[in-house]
Amino acid sequence: MTSIRELLGSNIRAYRNNLGISQAKLAEMINIATNYLGLIEGGKKFPSACMIERIALALGKDTPDLFAVTPVQQDWKERILQKMNTLIDEELISLRPEEDKTQCQKSVANTCAIGAEAKD
């Protein structure tokens, strides 16, 4: 079971990463030490209510968003684009003449295999 500190910390980290802000930059924005922000994000320290409000403001979020139980999806754009590209490729294959389909399917399979290897 995740503690409230861990939930808060992981959501802060996820929102920060989604914005492309470094830990050092966010710490500077809210006027705290970078290592303290790291302890908050790691679920080791729990900030004051005032600090939580400052963090939310800096991240452009409402304070309750920092306590959302639903995990923040950091890579949702990439996953949607990958799915869309796969669907487009499949649709293009279905529109090709039969002799081209086998070659095209092999190409798509190789591309997907290469992409899977890159993630590992």
Question: How far, rounded to the nearest angstrom, does the alpha carbon of residue 34 sit from its chain's CA centroid?
Answer: 21
Per residue in 75-93, pLDDT tens? 566 667 777 888 888 887 7
Look at the alpha carbons of 61, 5, 37, 50 in this order and tell me if their dihedral is positive or negative.
positive
Amino acid at 40: I
Q: Rounded mean pLDDT of 100-106? A: 58
CB 12 within 8 A of CB 59: yes
Enclosing domain of residue 104: 76-119
Same domain? For 56 and 8 the reply is yes
Same domain? For 112 and 88 the reply is yes
- Whether the pLDDT of residue 104 is over 60: the answer is no
Same domain? For 59 and 83 the reply is no
Q: Which two tokens stand for residue 3?
A: 């503690």
- Whether the pLDDT of residue 25 is over 90: the answer is yes
| pLDDT reported for residue 62 | 93
- The residue written with tokens 């995740």 in the block is 2
- The residue written with tokens 């799915």 in the block is 83
- A 10 A CB-CB count for 9 gives 24
Any idea what the CATH number is for the domain that residue 32 is in? 1.10.260.40
- Whether the pLDDT of residue 100 is over 80: the answer is no
Per residue in 28-53, pLDDT tens? 999 999 999 999 999 999 999 999 99
| pLDDT reported for residue 24 | 97
